[in-house]
Amino acid sequence: MSDLKFTRIIATLGPASQEEDQIRSLIRSGADCFRLNFSHSDGPGLEPYIKKVRQISESEGKYIPLLADIQGPKLRVGHLPGEGAELLDDQLFTITHRKVEGSAEQVHSPYELLSKDLQIGHRVLLADGSIEMVVESIDGEDVRCRVLHGGLLTSNKGMNLPDTEVSAATLTDKDRRDLQFIGKSDIDLVAVSFVRRASDIRDARDILGDSRIPVLAKLERPEALNQLNEILEEADGVMVARGDLGVEIEFERVPFVQKQILQRASVRGKWAIVATEMLRSMVDHSRPTRA
């Protein structure tokens, strides 16, 4: 029987897995690729990981590719004091670009075009979709919403706008700096977050320069699904980012959309990665559940 594996395992390196013995254990346990998350660091901050992986993988006699996952225009709320604020069903809540103190009535958003992008009736999802609200009015930089499903909101939680065409560029200034670093570093692949169109991949390649590092498109926005064929033609592969995608579209559609993406990538001979919410039960248990 052949030892060739068609399905590979990507493991994310971070504070919980940065020691040499931990990295070595991951390699021996079957990790085929290590992901470096540029959302919480930058190139110089991740350089020690790159050197460490190269040294350990060489001593283990197994080459381990490194995947750089750049942040993209992830929308977030600002600071809330203490343990956060509990938002109740049917209450009014304001999201604003003004510098306000976060509370159960309002929160700051660093995204300066929020009030211009949103329209009355658009949904706003906070904290990975656990809090849902709908826009009732817009006054200057203030977006006033009615909470449909409340919950605890804490500092810097993610914000998704599933009904809205977001104006923010796919590649932020930070992403451009990170891509310049990646193009000159010992990294094997790069994943571009929140890709919406094929031109996003071309822009990333331009910044990478002559490095010829394969570029993967992370599919997290509904717009990307409408441009899937064009994105697949331009990218070297795709990543089905099920966490954000499951917030942006109806969660019951995710398995069907995932299958469609994988099929189209396979037909074109492109890499396809399924990521986030994989075997999540193993966070608390040593063996996965049947679910």
Note if 28 is an active site residue: no
Separation between Cα atoms, residue 135 and residue 189, nearest integer Å: 39
Note if 218 is an active site residue: yes
Q: Which of 205, 218, 221, 242 is catalytic?
A: 218
Note if 197 is an active site residue: no
Q: Which of 51, 76, 116, 280 is catalytic?
A: 76
In DSSP terms, 133 is beta-bridged to 124, 147
Q: Which of 35, 196, 242, 270 is catalytic?
A: 35
Note if 253 is an active site residue: no
The torsion defined by the Cα of 251, 255, 257 and 262, in degrees rounded to 10, comes to: 150
How many Cα atoms are found within 13 Å in the side-chain-facing hemisphere of 158?
A: 17
Q: Which of 12, 164, 172, 276 is catalytic?
A: 276
Q: Which H or E element spans position 116?
A: helix 114-117
Separation between Cα atoms, residue 50 and residue 255, nearest integer Å: 34
∠205-243-196 over CA atoms, to 5°? 35
Amino acid letter for position 193: S
Catalytic residue set: 35, 76, 218, 276
